[in-house]
């Protein structure tokens, strides 16, 4: 254990905040910048094992390659003598597991989506980069109270200690090892299979939805007989229609598929899970209210991008908010503030082009739709209000809520 006020490289240790099987996480402060950080230190007895050191280094590397608002950022790696540690952004808030211990639920669907939709976005981002977490669970989702995206705070995924990089041919996991946490680990993980892919994370997400929506775990993790029956299909999981929760049919359908014992029955990645989850908007009838809520969400995401210095992405989100709700002056003001900055960037003449999304027409065919875009040569005073009105009318017909999906795809591009 590191002592309070001791130093590790350029960081001053403040206090231990968490302990796991192989390491301890400390709250610390950068000596010169006075910036709070979290430092995960590998326990000395594990630091002697080469395979464990390799897994620890892989965790730092994998998490360090992921830059997403809903994934805890790794900023530094320390190797001094026998001490191995990596430095992360400090998240000031509890884990989702801690919240569930005091507020077990059932939670309302809207509240569940406020927490888990950003988690799905972060997982989809990791999947797009060939990374499978393999230990998704409420304990590995921290709720950052410093940014109030919801009443609970911004969800941030952490602990990539069991993560797998799909592009690699080798690894540090032994074949036949059962890695993960019951009941969130997928059946193929429980069986010790080595061919684990993104569908294992999809299963874990379905279990998190199930727990929050029903207020209970699907199986007692301490009852290994019941656990084995569930994972072998002899004790089937309850169907979403039997949860006593009113779920939109598309969401119930994807939750049912995501919990399939056979991985071939699940969505292949979290992005597919997210798209299916967003199909719940098919049943939305108050389109004016839907437009207002969606515009507000686009505006919020634009603010986040602006704070992070991503002016072009911010402009796209603000333009979308204006198209959906041109009557809101705040959206126009923010668009007018960032548009000249985008215009001033030399050599960047390619228009922002968010990913194409589709909606069914009257004949059931998929028709390509594009969200609002901004011409960098325009200022808000030149923004075509008639075009905004047309875009608002088009948005009334959108059956999928694309904006949450788009954030991970924008970053991926």
- Domains of the chain, residue spans: 7-89, 96-283, 287-412
Catalytic site residue 135?
Answer: yes
Cβ pair 361, 397 in contact under 8 A = no
pLDDT of residue 383: 39
Q: Which two tokens stand for residue 237?
A: 């999981």
pLDDT of residue 385: 43
pLDDT of residue 91: 92
Task: Tell me which range, 40-54, 174-188, 346-360, 388-402, is most confidently predicted by mean pLDDT.
Answer: 40-54
Q: Which residues contact 143 (CB under 8 A, 6 or more apart)?
A: 91, 93, 94, 95, 96, 99, 115, 152, 153, 154, 155, 156
Whether the per-residue pLDDT at 406 is higher than 50: the answer is: yes
How are beta strands 83-89 and 366-369 bridged, if at all?
unpaired
Residues of the chain above pLDDT 70, percent = 73
pLDDT tens for each residue of 283-334:
444 445 667 778 888 888 888 888 888 888 888 888 888 877 777 888 888 8
- 13 vs 321, residue with greater confidence: 13
Mean pLDDT of 109-132: 91
Helix (H, G, I), strand (E, B) or coil at 169: coil
CA distance 261 to 187: 6
Question: Considering only 89-93, 114-118, 259-263, 350-354, which range has the smallest mean pLDDT?
Answer: 350-354
| Predicted confidence band of residue 345 (pLDDT cuts 50, 70, 90) | low
* Rounded alpha-carbon distances, angstroms, from residue 346 to 134, 306, 340, 343, 378: 43, 19, 12, 8, 15
Strands (E), 20-171: 23-30, 36-42, 74-80, 83-89, 131-132, 141-144, 154-157, 164-165
**Relative orientation angle of helices 287-307 and 311-324, to the nearest 10 degrees:** 160
Burial of 35-69, coded b for 16+ CB within 10 Å and e otherwise, reads: eebbbbbbbeebbeeeebbebbbbbbebbbebebb
Same fold across 7-89 and 96-283: no
Task: Tell me which range, 219-223, 372-376, 400-404, is most confidently predicted by mean pLDDT.
Answer: 219-223
Question: How many CA atoms within 13 Å lie on the side-chain side of 55?
Answer: 20
| Predicted confidence band of residue 379 (pLDDT cuts 50, 70, 90) | very low
Mean pLDDT of 225-232: 86
- Write down how long the chain is: 413
pLDDT of residue 116: 92
- 112 vs 234, residue with greater confidence: 112
Omega before 106 within 30 of 0, i.e. cis: yes
CATH class of 7-89: alpha beta
pLDDT of residue 374: 38
Q: Which residues pair with 83 in a beta bridge?
A: 80
pLDDT of residue 312: 82
71 DSSP 8-state letter = B
Mean pLDDT of 376-399: 44
Cβ pair 406, 353 in contact under 8 A = no
Average pLDDT of every residue of the chain: 77
pLDDT of residue 173: 43
List the catalytic residue out of 49, 82, 135, 384: 135
CA distance 54 to 159: 15
Whether the per-residue pLDDT at 166 is higher than 60: the answer is: no
pLDDT of residue 151: 62
Nearest Cα to 61, choosing from 149, 129, 139?
A: 129
Cβ pair 391, 374 in contact under 8 A = no
- 115 vs 291, residue with greater confidence: 115
Domain spanning 96-283: which superfamily?
Transferase(Phosphotransferase) domain 1 (1.10.510.10)
* Rounded alpha-carbon distances, angstroms, from residue 321 to 34, 296, 301, 326, 369: 37, 7, 10, 8, 16
Whether the per-residue pLDDT at 387 is higher than 50: the answer is: no
- Residue that has been written with the tokens 């002697």 in this structure: 48
Mean pLDDT of 337-354: 59
Q: Which residues contact 344 (CB under 8 A, 6 or more apart)?
A: none
Would you tell me how many other CB atoms lie within 10 Å of the CB of residue 248?
15
CA distance 323 to 336: 14
């Amino acid at each position: 254990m590191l002592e309070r006020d001791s130093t590790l490289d350029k960081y001053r240790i403040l206090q231990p905040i968490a302990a796991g099987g192989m390491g301890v996480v400390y709250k610390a402060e950068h000596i010169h910048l006075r910036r709070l950080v979290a430092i995960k230190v590998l326990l000395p007895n594990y630091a002697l094992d080469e395979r464990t050191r390799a897994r620890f280094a892989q965790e730092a590397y994998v998490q360090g390659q992921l830059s997403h608002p809903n994934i805890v950022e790794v900023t530094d790696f320390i190797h001094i003598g026998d001490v191995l540690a990596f430095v992360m952004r400090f998240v000031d808030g509890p884990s989702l597991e801690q919240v569930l211990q005091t507020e077990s639920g059932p939670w309302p669907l809207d509240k569940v989506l406020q927490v888990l939709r950003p988690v799905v976005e972060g997982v989809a981002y990791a999947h797009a980069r060939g990374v499978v977490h393999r230990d998704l669970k409420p304990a590995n989702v921290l709720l950052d109270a410093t940014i109030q995206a919801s009443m609970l705070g911004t969800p941030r995924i952490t602990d990539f200690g069991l993560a797998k990089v799909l592009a690699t041919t080798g690894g540090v996991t032994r074949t036949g090892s059962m890695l993960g946490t019951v009941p969130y680990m997928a059946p193929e993980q429980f069986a010790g299979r080595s061919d684990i892919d993104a569908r294992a994370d999809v299963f874990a997400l379905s279990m998190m939805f199930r727990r929050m929506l029903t207020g209970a775990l699907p199986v007692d993790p301490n009852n290994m007989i019941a656990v084995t029956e569930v994972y072998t299909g002899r004790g089937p999981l309850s169907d979403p229609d039997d949860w006593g929760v009113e779920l939109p049919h598309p969401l119930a359908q994807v939750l049912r598929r995501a919990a399939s014992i056979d991985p071939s029955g699940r969505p292949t990645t979290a992005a597919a899970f997210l798209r299916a989850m967003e199909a719940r908007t098919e049943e939305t009838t108050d389109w004016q209210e839907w437009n207002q809520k969606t515009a507000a969400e686009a505006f919020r995401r634009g603010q986040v991008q602006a704070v992070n210095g991503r002016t072009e992405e911010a402009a796209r989100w603000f333009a979308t908010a204006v198209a959906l709700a041109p009557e809101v002056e705040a959206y126009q003001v923010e668009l007018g503030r960032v548009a000249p900055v985008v215009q001033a960037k030399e050599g960047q003449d390619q228009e922002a082009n968010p990913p194409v999304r589709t909606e069914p027409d009257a004949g059931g065919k998929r028709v390509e739709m594009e969200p609002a875009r901004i011409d960098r040569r325009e200022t808000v005073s030149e923004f075509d209000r008639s075009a905004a009105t047309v875009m608002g009318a088009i948005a009334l017909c959108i059956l999928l809520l694309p904006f949450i999906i788009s954030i991970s795809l924008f970053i991926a591009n």
